[in-house]
Amino acid sequence: MIFQETLREIVERADGVQGAVIMGMDGIAIGEHIVDPACSIQTVGIEYASAIKSIQKAAHSLEAGDVQEVIINTSSSVTILRLITREYFIALSLLPDGNHGRARYLLRLAVPRLSGEFL
């Protein structure tokens, strides 16, 4: 399945990634790849889905265009949320010292491949 293959590729090619999930705004995961069993990437995705919706609403109100990416940087992890469509996104959890730039690059490359699966 393209979802699993894409997530595995991203996780394996970016240092410090703990897990990745493709999820709908409804909180239902359609694919995941986990490196660290302690990483509950589905919970991360569910919790941040509501944040994405709020950010989308604010961007619309500001006439700023469509939200493409949200990065949440905390003391224990970095979460990158990259929208595939308005209803689906990839959530990626990294260690604070992980390779964020590489992870963002790989996500940006993956989105066009994945978006075709949602048509």
CATH number of the domain residue 74 falls in: 3.30.450.30
> For the chain, what is the domain count?
1
Instruction: For residue 31, give the H/E element and its range.
Output: strand 29-34
pLDDT in tens, 69-115: 999 999 999 999 999 999 999 999 999 999 999 999 999 999 999 99
Please state the pTM of the whole predicted model: 0.92
For 67, the domain range is: 2-118
pLDDT in tens, 16-68: 999 999 999 999 999 999 998 888 888 989 999 999 999 999 999 999 999 99
